[in-house]
Structures are given as structure tokens and as C-alpha cells.
Amino acid sequence: MQRSRLPLGLTLLASLLLTACGGGGSSAQYEGSIVTGQVLMGPQYPGDTSGGPVAGATVCAYAFLANGSPLYTINYGALPYTYNITPAATCQTTAANGSFSFNLLNGVYGPVLLQASGGSYQFGASSSALKSYTLNPLTSTNLSFLTTTSTNYFIASNTTLQAVVNVGGGGTVSTNITPLTTFAVARGNPINGFTVATYQNNLGNVAAQLGISGVGNLATAIPGNPASDPNASYGQAMLGVAQYLATMTPNGTNTDDPYSANLLNWTNLATVSADYTTAYRTINSGSTASFSFN
């Protein structure tokens, strides 16, 4: 992974900007964007439409780099991207509703990786019996539970949840950070190459694999909210994830996937699929759904 520790660049190379934008001379292309969203773990219990906000999570934003390029000279013709280890802005702490906001109008342009760790969310069988869970940071110690052939482990080395946004041209871009956006990042496998287009395609692929229907965009929809999840399938999938995390150690007693590291990194999928199927059926009473992830 290319790790640049250069100071923030004052400007982007004009030729690279033209490549990224397809030409044009508007100053708006230099403005970056405001990035907003929520960190969500899904409905807190069947029937809840709040989206299961994660309060007190730390969210950091990292600019992607073209391999071998200095900070903020993103060359869209040179793939794959890696990301800079230095945050592009001061990391934020989510509010009670899981919300966060970044001002990336400082020359950041192109794909940005968002990483969320820590914080707490509520999950349980009913509104009167909710339990509080903590997003356990995936440190190098608990990442050792990943299989030795895992190729994506590094993307979660300091986080549990991730998402990607494409920044530039001013204005506001929004995304939620959820386990499902994390799956989409993991399926992109940054070691072998990452593009925003691949990430967006992965969002649709993840939705299909989890049986989600009627949702236009996993990155912006609110799971369980009838306005953006009309069939409640997104909410049910997120309930399955929350049940999975509650079942695995250290939250629960199942040792198949400690810290849910394999699920979040989309590895060891045969075991993950079986355990997720059990979790999904447990929390979504009466379901006979079966999952086989790839």
C-alpha cells in the first residue's frame, strides 16, 4: 500500500483534473465537496425505522491515491488506487443519530474512503429490551482471526465500517456508512485494484446476494424506513448483520468469526454464509431464507 505523508497539496495538477473531469475550465472542479451521512447498524428491532444509528463513532476520511502519485494528484488513468494513511480532514464523532459531516473543500478531489470505528448502537428483540453494543475496532490482533489467504484484511485494519464517495465540483455528497457498504468496499479488493465504478456495482451485487429489493441505492437508503426500503428487505438484511455481530465473540459465544472480521472483510464465505443464514432466520422470525455469498 502506498503511504504518503506529504503535506496537503495547494493545487491539483491541471492535466490530471482535466482527465478526471473530462475537460472544462470551471473553477468548481477545484472546490471539493461537503460530505455528509450517517453511521447505521440497521433497525434496532423489527418494526423500528430509525436505521439503528451508531452514536459516538469516530469517522475519518482518506483521499485515494494513484499508485506512485503524490497526495491529491489523482490520475484517473492510472489504476489501481490506494489511499493515503493521513486523513484528508479532522476526523469527526457521530451525533446521537449517527450523523457526520466533513468539509472537503480544501482541494480534495476524487474518491474518498470513509472509515468508522467505535461508538455504540442499540439492538434487541423489542424496544423495551434493547441492548447496547460497541463497534469493536478491528486491530491487528483481532484481524489475526482472518484466514491466511485473505487478501482484503488491510482495508479494515483500523475500522469496522467503511464506504466510498466521489468528491469534487463543490456541493454536497452524501453516503451512509453501514456493514453493507463495507461489504461493497471489501469486494472491490483494493490490493488488486479499486475504482468507484466497481464499488457502485458491488453495492448492487451485495443487495442481490442479501435478497434486498426495491432499494435504489444501499449507500443512501435508510434500512427499515418505508420511504427508501418499501419492502423492508434492507432492514431485514441489516437485522441479520446485527444478529450475526451479537452472536460472534466477543459479543456472543460463537467462535466461528471473532469480531465478525471475516464477514466485514468478505472472506471465508462458506462459514460466513452459513452463520449469517442462521442469524437472519433467528432475528427475522419465520424466514426460511438461505444465503451463499461470493
The residues of the chain scoring below 70 in pLDDT are 1-30, 65-85, 125-159, 189-194
**What's the pLDDT at 139?**
55
Within 10 Å of residue 123's Cβ, how many Cβ atoms?
24
Residues in CB range of 128: below 8 A, 6 or more apart = none
Beta carbons within 10 angstroms of residue 22's beta carbon: 7
The model carries a pTM of 0.80
Domain ranges of the chain: 31-283
Residues 18/74, Cβ–Cβ less than 8 Å: no
3-state helix, strand, coil in the chain (%, to 5): 30, 20, 50
First to last CA, the chain: 25
pLDDT score, position 1: 36
Whether the CB-CB separation of 51 and 70 falls below 8 Å is answered with no
The reported pLDDT for the residue numbered 264 is 87
Helix (DSSP H) and strand (DSSP E) numbers for the chain: 6, 10
pLDDT (tens digit per residue) in 131-180: 666 666 555 555 555 554 444 444 444 457 889 998 888 899 999 999 99
Helix or strand or coil: residue 101?
strand
